[in-house]
Amino acid sequence: MTPACLDLPIVPGATNRKPLYLLQPRVERKAISVIQKTPSLLLTVPGHGLPAEWPCWVEGVSGFTALNRQPPQQAPWMVGVIDADTVEVNALNGAGQNASGGWLVYQPGVDLTDATAQLTITGPGYTLELTSANGGLEVLGVGRLNIVLTPEQSAAIPHDGVTYTLDITWQNGDVSRWLDGPVTVRRGGGHGCCT
């Protein structure tokens, strides 16, 4: 398996909590039975099977083309779970829309039961290993990890030439490199960018 390449942005001197979604390669499609005309768009998708907030695409909806996104060409929506049959696309306003049909499309999460994960950040003369044992990785459920960097750890990361890898060790001893990529440490400081 070729690891996915993903940038890891870091704010130095701050607590950094970064969610990661570990997705299976197969795609699930669940029929949308009702697109509710609510300000925060609600979709009725019986038995959707999403464990929690999850990256999803929507295909084939008529009457509300802004909702449709094609995997993998377009970024997914972050879809919240309301109940076993209802999800929310908070980024869209469904009030006054007359939409129907379509499919909720997603990749199921990877089962991390009995697996361990290690995220290693490396740079010139620098190495930091984050695991669940040292509090640097939190397993939040099926397919969900949270990277946790303390203010001291984030302040110590060099600004240039830093990369990371995420390795999963399965119960049988196999190791999979799941993610890798550059670490981008934000330069400057303060909150002067907002007016």
User: What pLDDT digit, counting tens, does each position of 92-123 carry?
Assistant: 999 989 999 999 999 999 998 888 999 999 99
- Interatomic CA distance for residues 124 and 109, integer angstroms: 34
Domain 28-106, CATH class in plain words: mainly beta
Q: Where are the domains of the chain?
A: 4-22+111-185, 28-106
CA-wise closest residue to 10 among 161, 153, 165: 153
Amino acid identity, residue 129?
E
152: Cα separation from own chain's centroid: 25
CATH superfamily of 4-22+111-185: Immunoglobulins (2.60.40.10)
Query: Same CATH topology for 4-22+111-185 and 28-106?
Result: no
- Interatomic CA distance for residues 42 and 83, integer angstroms: 11
In the chain, what percentage of residues exceed pLDDT 70?
96
Q: Is the pTM of this model over 0.85?
A: no
pLDDT of residue 189: 52
pLDDT band at 188 (very low <50, low <70, confident <90, very high): low
- pLDDT at 127 > cutoff 70: yes
Across residues 149-171, what is the average pLDDT? 95
